[in-house]
Amino acid sequence: MEETKFNIDQLLPIGLTIVVLGIALAYGLQVMGDVQDDMTPASTEYNATSDALEGVAKIPAKLPMIVTVIVAAVIIGIIVRYLMFR
């Protein structure tokens, strides 16, 4: 059985991905809000952008939970590895 190695420096891409995701979502929400401001209220397009804004805004709200799960998985993995090879 081949042993798999894990280094802490491999977490950097995960961290950068989360940061880029947060920036992209924030910028995307701003652009979507600007697009909605250009629409006529009570039109189908205005309602569609409202629904899209509401849906996309839920993703950043879940980002802290996603990060918590990732950190917990890494910590559990480190603990399990330490206990297995102790």
Question: Tens digits of per-residue pLDDT, 31-85?
Answer: 888 888 888 888 888 888 888 888 888 888 888 888 888 888 888 888 887 777 7
What residue segments make up the domains of the chain, in order of their start?
Answer: 13-84
pLDDT at residue 74, as a whole number: 83
**Rounded Cα gap, residues 8 and 6, in angstroms:** 7
CB neighbourhood size of 49 (10 A): 19
SS (H, E, C) the chain: CCCCCCCHHHHHHHHHHHHHHHHHHHHHHHHHHHHHHCCCCCCHHHHHHHHHHHHHHHHHHHHHHHHHHHHHHHHHHHHHHHHHCC
